[in-house]
Amino acid sequence: MADEEKIRERIEVRVSQGEFLAGMLHVAARGSANAQQNYIDRLSEIATAVRGMLEANGLIGTLTYRPESYWKQLAGTSIAFLDGGVASIDLPSAAPIGIRVGSYIVTPGEPDPQKREQFNIELSMVDDLYSDDAAIYDDDFSDIAKLRDAARIISETSAAWHLANRGDSPDLILLHGPLINPAAPYGLDYFPGYGLEACGALLNEPTWRGQDEERQFVALYLELLNRLKLSGKAVAGVVERSIGKDPVVMRRVLDLLLTKEIIKKSEARDLLANLALYALNDAALLDVVLQAGEYIGPISVPRQGPENKWPEVWKPWIRMYPNAFTTYLKPTDLAMPFRVEMFDDVANHLQLLDLILHTSRLLPSYGFPVGLDIVDKYAKVPEWMSRGIRGQHQIVLLKKALASGDPRALTFAKRVLASKGRDWFFRPNA
């Protein structure tokens, strides 16, 4: 079957599953009536043109799924899967934080069950965001969600570094999520630095005494990424769902072809305009361009966004951030491709991609590395634990209010104990 026919067939299947509903609605709002009627035809033309361009320039690779020989070949290789879990605790009077990064390490072919699979908590951070001893952050900040996000991101990278640096470190490390995150959102004015205790834990150096600037997220995260990169370990981040609208990888591909004068500026401009018109990000486009076992690139992608959006004070630091060596891998015909990020000097990216492909096809009707799904469930903080922490905070608050003898403190404590978030009974009528 010709590429165009295969692509059209995949598009029709995805449309029937509702995958391109957002794109069709986008066209309905902005495009002409003719464009709406010929949605599948136009999408087929775009995807066929993109596949032709990628194939002509050697930008589509293929991995062969060979489970019987592959797992024998991998015998004795230790593989670590990492993910972080965050406690969901919402209290009006406090900002408790609980983060833990779990690892699932497996060695195929190991006959001893105790050594074959291991579950560990590699790093945990439990405190109040505004504690007196500044165990995590050394000051407060208005956006609690951003503080938690920053703590989770840096904890996951730290745990990967701890694993890569230890004596019996695994051969391959897969992280659930991006390997390199944008740092600029956490370089805002007054964004607090990490306390010395937290920095010591993250860097695995209890006696570390960095300056205020070095304890800020942008600087500390860069230090951890550089250490992880210099470890020489094969590390990859695997992103299950790419929800951004911008086709970042395709932009980089077009930039590369423009630099080599393989395509014209008008061709690149027209293709990007069509991707915008049909609301196609990298994952949606490559879902119908790639076949099972195929991947694009990999290609070096700056993950820090446009420089004009960086905080001025952190620009010199952000310029030093490594690029993400990025590809999209489609494990099966029915599964969406997922993004894989590595360091841009990785020497054995095919070994990592082979592992990701084979662990994605271990279970029927599944299309993501199963080890990452296992560690996701292991690291997740259960709701019963979050409820228990919330209850203990409420008890402490009530005891302190009673001990104070202040009627206002007692009234406040009662309101906190009775608080259940937004209540639909008290919403205004339409």
Query: Using one digit for the tens of pLDDT, what is the confidence trace for 154-195?
Result: 999 999 999 999 888 999 999 999 999 999 999 988 888 898
Which part of the chain is CATH 3.30.2170?
A: 59-244+281-381
What integer pLDDT is reported at residue 184 of this predicted model?
A: 94
Cβ 215 vs Cβ 187: under 8 Å: no
Question: Would you give the distance in Å from CA 10 to the centre of its chain?
Answer: 27
Q: What is the DSSP letter of 305?
A: -
pLDDT, average across residues 351-371? 92
What integer pLDDT is reported at residue 186 of this predicted model?
A: 94
**What pTM value is reported for the model?**
0.83
Residue 406 has pLDDT above 90, yes or no: no
Cβ 86 vs Cβ 152: under 8 Å: yes
The band of 244, judged by pLDDT with boundaries at 50, 70 and 90, is confident
- Report d(CA 153, CA 181) in Å as an integer: 8
What integer pLDDT is reported at residue 11 of this predicted model?
A: 72
Region 59-244+281-381: CATH code:
3.30.2170
What integer pLDDT is reported at residue 423 of this predicted model?
A: 47
Query: Which stretches within 17-93 are classed as H helix?
Result: 21-30, 33-37, 39-56, 67-73
Task: Please state the φ and ψ torsions of residue 163, each to the nearest 5 degrees.
Answer: -65, -45
Query: Dmax over Cα atoms in the chain, in whole Å?
Result: 81
The percent of residues above 90 in pLDDT, for the chain, comes to 51
- Report d(CA 321, CA 219) in Å as an integer: 10
**279-321: pLDDT as tens digits:** 889 998 999 899 999 999 899 999 998 899 999 999 999 999 9
Long-range contact pairs involving 120-123 (C-beta distance under 8 Å, separation at least 24): 121/379, 122/82, 122/159, 122/162, 122/163, 123/155, 123/158, 123/159, 123/162, 123/201, 123/202
What integer pLDDT is reported at residue 8 of this predicted model?
A: 75
What integer pLDDT is reported at residue 219 of this predicted model?
A: 96
Structure tokens at 363: 């279970």
Cβ 256 vs Cβ 296: under 8 Å: no
pLDDT, average across residues 87-94? 59
pLDDT, average across residues 402-427? 61
The band of 343, judged by pLDDT with boundaries at 50, 70 and 90, is very high
- Report d(CA 35, CA 26) in Å as an integer: 11
Q: Which residues contact 247 (CB under 8 A, 6 or more apart)?
A: 272, 275, 280, 281, 282, 285
What integer pLDDT is reported at residue 37 of this predicted model?
A: 54
Long-range contact pairs involving 212-215 (C-beta distance under 8 Å, separation at least 24): 215/138
pLDDT, average across residues 359-381? 89
The band of 403, judged by pLDDT with boundaries at 50, 70 and 90, is confident
